[in-house]
Structure 1
Amino acid sequence: MKRTLQVLDFLLPVLLSCHGNYKTPTNNAISAMELKRGKIILCGPEEQQLGDVAFTTSCSGKVQKDFNTGISLLHSFEYDEAEKAFAKVIDEDPGCAIAYWGVAMCNYHPLWAPPTPRELEKGARVMAVAESLKKRSERETDYIAALAPFYHNWRTTTHADRCADFEKGMERLHAKYPDDQEAAIFYALALNGAADPADKTFAKQKKAGEILTALSASLPNHPGITHYIIHSYDYPELAELALPAARRYASIAPSSAHAQHMPSHIFTRLGLWQECANANLIATVAARCYAENTGIKGHWDEELHSMDYLVYAYLQQGQNAKAREQYDYLNTIQEVHPVNFKVAYAFAAIPARYLLENRLWQDAAALRPHQANLPWEQYPWQKAIIHFTRLMGAAHTGALVAARIELDTLNQLHDALAAQQDVYKANQVDIQRKTGAAWILLKEGKRDSALLLMHAAANMEDNTQKHPVTPGEVLPARELLGDMLLQLSRPEEALAAYEEDLKQHVNRFNGLYGAAQAAEQCHKKDKAAAYYRQLVKISSTGDASRPELTLAGDFLKGKGN
């Protein structure tokens, strides 16, 4: 990579004309950009079906179809394949400035993790070409100008500031071209990308949703509109608004593996577990197909991402055998590409969920990081999940010395994230360390201190949105507060905690069971029966095997009276 950058440093100035504009890049200069190229690989219908997109350009007419394919893929976050489409446009029409913008958008991915230094370097270089080429319309010039600040001075600016710059640029573009539907769609994406996770008013997300909803009637098969509506409303308070879009998106872009997975974000928010499982079963098959057809050694990262949601759905249905099957399959995976934050999260969260949801405390205390091609030291947030699981296992089995060692590790991981100024992830680990410390205090008999700290963790989590990479916390803090209160024989308070948590985590198996137990202990038999019935209902598909369901059935038959 260093040698490539040196080549580019030499070549790009050569392309300057005497008027300060780049000439059309030479084949050698384009080759040195290391654009992703090749046949576009998709798994789905025989003919690529990615929805309907029309983005008019001033480039050669022969590249318009390929450009629209790139935009369609971009709107479904198929970034590698989208870059191939834009690279094909550049090869056919190297003076097409907006195609270089397309490549830069492929290296941004607003709603995922921040671009890597390599992606930022690449984006900055293709944007330099886009800004300097003469072959562009005024509208294309404005698109390029909206994105350019994201890559300018990327070494010295934060990702959040760059996202805010892109949002402002797209706002100006949308205002200047109110009839440009793509400008409105990309502005909505920019709003979501710049939204503050701590803003509980969801101001930017609601604005994005309103823009997209206004367009949806006239563009019912546009992948970006439907996809970004889901992202705009991917919050417990708003999720119901996205359910129609969630149920449409997979059929709009059946050739996109991500389009098969993405609806499950809303299904998860609304506790629609069978729909969530079905979506991710299809998505994991598509992801394995993609890995095979692209020659990826091992597995594609999107497969593991979908597996995390699939396991979560199975656990909420009480489908332990199916969840365990995915857990065992995960343990056979030794190589994933690309190695990134999604992969690390799945490797940490899937075993943690299985063990913690089922209260397998001894196994939880002994959990080890998965030994795949993964540098865990680069992922302190995900690594913290492993140590949180070990802490909770140790605390619940009375191994308090081991629990304190895990707490020390969580403190170190928190401090590392704080030093990186990664506030969101540092806060996530802070919630875990507060939770873990609370359970250690409880086991030490310090009940008041334990409850005080557990309340603090729950309150903090209530004010923190989940990251899009995850279907939910491995164990919600307020649900754990309910568990603690129930252990302390305070069922009224426990019931209130469970009910509050179920507003954010609809139809969670353990939340419903905890609420039913608390209501039963409060002698609120009708309320207990309602929660038990709901538990049985969400577990009615397949071969649910959790012992809690037997207790629920006994109560509903009158044996629990």
Structure 2
Amino acid sequence: MKNAIRLLTILIMAFLVGCQGKKPQPPEPSDLGLLRGEITLCGSGEFGEVSFALSCNVDARSTFDLAISLLHSFEYTEAEKAFVKVLDIDPKCAMAYWGVAMSNYHSLWLQSGTAYLEKGTKVLKLAKSISTNERENAYIKALSAFYDNWKNITHQERVQRFEREMYKVYKTYTKDEEAAIFYALALRATADPSDKTYAVQRKSGEILESIYPNQPNHPGIAHYIIHNYDYPGLAELALPTARLYAQIAPASAHAQHMPSHIFTRLGLWDESISSNINSTASARCYSKSIAPLAHWDEELHGMDYLVYAYLQKGDLNKANEQYEYLKTFKKVFPINFKVAYSAAAIPARIALESRNWEAAATLKKPKLELSWSLMPWQESILIYARAMGSVRLGHITDSKKEMEKLVANRKKLMNAEDNYQANQVNIQIKTIKAWIALAEDDQIMAIELMREAAEMEYNTNKHPVTPGEVIPAGELLGDMLLQTNQPKEALAAYEYDLKQHPNRFNGVYGAATAAKNSGNEKLAASYYFQLMKLGLNSDRPEVAIAKEYLKKKNNI
């Protein structure tokens, strides 16, 4: 009996030692939740030209290149499906798993939830277990720096870790232009929103521009150049690229839309409108194939830019058409910050830019399946509009109640350590405080607060999700100075803001009015003429005022 027990003990110990010696097994592909299905390509199906050196099965390479092209235009869902098709052809293609992880890492904005982190971690673990190529190992190691230990390291720290590792790939494989492109994107993601020198963006842009002549039809190069130069003072650098990107990847809704970032920066409203009409049409094509009863987030994103451009041409009818269309939406996908931002910004922009204070004061949340409590910045846009509408109507108590909600949302964002969005809400709070102070006859405090809000806004870069602030604080400063009979100071405020936001309808009209009230009739005529060109087909009363002024001065 003792011998039997001893033998059993030896066998158990041997089994345990054997188990301890084994490496943890990577998850099987069936455990990963990979996206599968036919790749949906709208229009021509063209996404640009990419050639990624790959050690995987020759038959998989054209599909892999398509996946990379989709990835470079942020068509993340279809990119993952394409990478999975590569795995169906070659299950040992480690870089296809890397591609899945890249498709789940949306580098230029913070995603919600943790599912994408869990998935990325799993697929990279599997990629490491099967990869034998030194260069491909370097790519996998670099991306793992973002996913590793994600529970204990902040998002921004992991973004910076990825950039450092991707830099090593870029410097080691100097002839690998894809390494340069992905490094430039990783670098761009580390940019500090408060850095007005744009040092990171310029460096990233220079890398991309250096290889652009070699690959003029590469979607990633064009796309990331636009993201790097989407700022006042830099936008002109990206204008030639912006006008080409839509031609490079005509099947991509995002590629059709992205040039409008630059068109918006430069006040080229007709080009922005054309860009986003094409983008929203492509987005509808995609949603009809994927979810016929729902609307894709890319469509709402394009609609927000469309509304912004229509408003700068004084075309309230076209802007309202987009809003009425938005009201018909019941379901959207994916439900994210981009959907929430557009759904809030579209009605807020229309009400505030048209000076319809009654509409602004009574704005309600769109009837979409959105968790507004999880999106305090986006919800604050509607709250801000109601607060502004209320105070401009003289309903000070109502405005103060709305402002309390803004304060609560800012606190949520600060607790979540989202400093950028907390700062955006703080600018709104200061703006409302300023107009409340003015309504309560404290003119000195009102102007001081409004100047502070404008300065804060000028020192903060806009988020890529938005074409611009719902109303620029600098423009509102001009409005306040004009209202308090300080036309020269108002003119200076408007003109400064127009350098940041060229060809804004209300800004141009404000500058014209301030110039006229200052006695500078020549400058007033120049601004009124600019307004007429902006609002050729507008029935806004400001255009009629401009025409009448110019008629009296014999300028038309």
TM, length-normalised to structure 1: 0.94
Give 1:9's aligned residue.
Answer: none
- Aligned runs of 1:315-394 on 2, under 5 Å? 315-394=311-390
Q: Does 1:70 align with 2:64?
A: no
Q: Which amino acid aligns with 1:433?
A: I
**Cα displacement (A) at 1:21:** 8.2
Contact 2:254 2:279 in 1 (8 A): yes
Aligned with 2:302 (options 299, 306, 327): 306
Q: Does 1:466 align with 2:462?
A: yes
TM, length-normalised to structure 2: 0.95
Q: Which amino acid aligns with 1:209?
A: G
Give 2:259's aligned residue.
Answer: 263
Give 2:548's aligned residue.
Answer: 554
Contact 1:109 1:115 in 2 (8 A): no
In the aligned structure 2, how far is the partner of 1:178 from the partner of 1:558?
A: 66
Contact 1:58 1:136 in 2 (8 A): no
Q: Which amino acid aligns with 1:549?
A: V
Residue by residue over 1:505-540, the C-alpha shift from the partner in whole angstroms, topping out at 9 and shown as x without a partner, is 111110111011001111111111111111122223
Q: Does 1:53 align with 2:50?
A: yes
Greater radius of gyration (CA): 2
In the aligned structure 2, how far is the partner of 1:157 from the partner of 1:513?
A: 49
Distance 1:471 1:138, change over 3 A: same
Q: Does 1:220 align with 2:220?
A: no
Give 1:6's aligned residue.
Answer: none
In the aligned structure 2, how far is the partner of 1:420 from the partner of 1:367?
A: 27
Contact 1:21 1:132 in 2 (8 A): no
**Cα displacement (A) at 1:296:** 4.7
- Aligned runs of 1:103-182 on 2, under 5 Å? 103-114=100-111, 116-133=113-130, 135-182=131-178
Identity within the alignment, %? 55
Q: Which amino acid aligns with 2:232?
A: P
In the aligned structure 2, how far is the partner of 1:215 from the partner of 1:75?
A: 15
Contact 1:536 1:552 in 2 (8 A): yes
**Cα displacement (A) at 1:22:** 5.7
**Cα displacement (A) at 1:149:** 1.0
Give 2:4's aligned residue.
Answer: none
Contact 2:112 2:336 in 1 (8 A): no
Residue by residue over 1:299-352, the C-alpha shift from the partner in whole angstroms, topping out at 9 and shown as x without a partner, is 111110100000000000111110011111111112111110011001100000
**Cα displacement (A) at 1:172:** 1.0
- Aligned runs of 1:485-504 on 2, under 5 Å? 485-504=481-500
Give 1:433's aligned residue.
Answer: 429
Contact 2:279 2:302 in 1 (8 A): yes
Residue by residue over 1:170-190, the C-alpha shift from the partner in whole angstroms, topping out at 9 and shown as x without a partner, is 111111111110000001101
Give 2:33's aligned residue.
Answer: 34
In the aligned structure 1, how far is the partner of 2:554 from the partner of 2:409?
A: 45
In the aligned structure 2, how far is the partner of 1:408 from the partner of 1:560?
A: 51
In the aligned structure 2, how far is the partner of 1:471 from the partner of 1:173?
A: 34
In the aligned structure 1, how far is the partner of 2:343 from the partner of 2:313?
A: 21
In the aligned structure 2, how far is the partner of 1:17 from the partner of 1:254?
A: 54
Q: Which amino acid aligns with 1:159?
A: H
Residue by residue over 1:98-152, the C-alpha shift from the partner in whole angstroms, topping out at 9 and shown as x without a partner, is 111100000001113335311111011111111221x431110111111111000
In the aligned structure 2, how far is the partner of 1:194 from the partner of 1:344?
A: 24
Aligned with 1:397 (options 393, 396, 418): 393
Q: What secondary structure is seen at the aligned counterpart in 2 of 1:234?
A: coil
Q: Which amino acid aligns with 1:170?
A: M
In the aligned structure 1, how far is the partner of 2:367 from the partner of 2:273?
A: 27
State how many pairs are aligned: 537
Residue by residue over 1:404-444, the C-alpha shift from the partner in whole angstroms, topping out at 9 and shown as x without a partner, is 10111111011111111000000000000000010001000
Deviates more, 1:531-540 or 1:169-178: 531-540
Residue by residue over 1:354-384, the C-alpha shift from the partner in whole angstroms, topping out at 9 and shown as x without a partner, is 0000000011101111121111111100000
Give 2:14's aligned residue.
Answer: none
Q: Which amino acid aligns with 1:141?
A: N
Contact 2:235 2:265 in 1 (8 A): yes
Residue by residue over 1:165-216, the C-alpha shift from the partner in whole angstroms, topping out at 9 and shown as x without a partner, is 1111111111111111000000110111111111111111000110111111
Q: What secondary structure is seen at the aligned counterpart in 1 of 2:327?
A: helix
Q: Which amino acid aligns with 1:250?
A: A
Distance 1:558 1:99, change over 3 A: same
Residue by residue over 1:478-521, the C-alpha shift from the partner in whole angstroms, topping out at 9 and shown as x without a partner, is 10000000000001110110011011111111011101100111
Distance 1:333 1:482, change over 3 A: same
Deviates more, 1:124-133 or 1:401-410: 124-133
Distance 1:558 1:165, change over 3 A: same
- Aligned runs of 1:238-257 on 2, under 5 Å? 238-257=234-253
Q: What secondary structure is seen at the aligned counterpart in 2 of 1:194?
A: coil
Q: Does 1:208 align with 2:189?
A: no
In the aligned structure 2, how far is the partner of 1:389 from the partner of 1:67?
A: 46
Contact 1:536 1:549 in 2 (8 A): yes
Contact 1:233 1:241 in 2 (8 A): yes
**Cα displacement (A) at 1:20:** 4.0
Distance 1:115 1:126, change over 3 A: farther
**Cα displacement (A) at 1:234:** 0.5
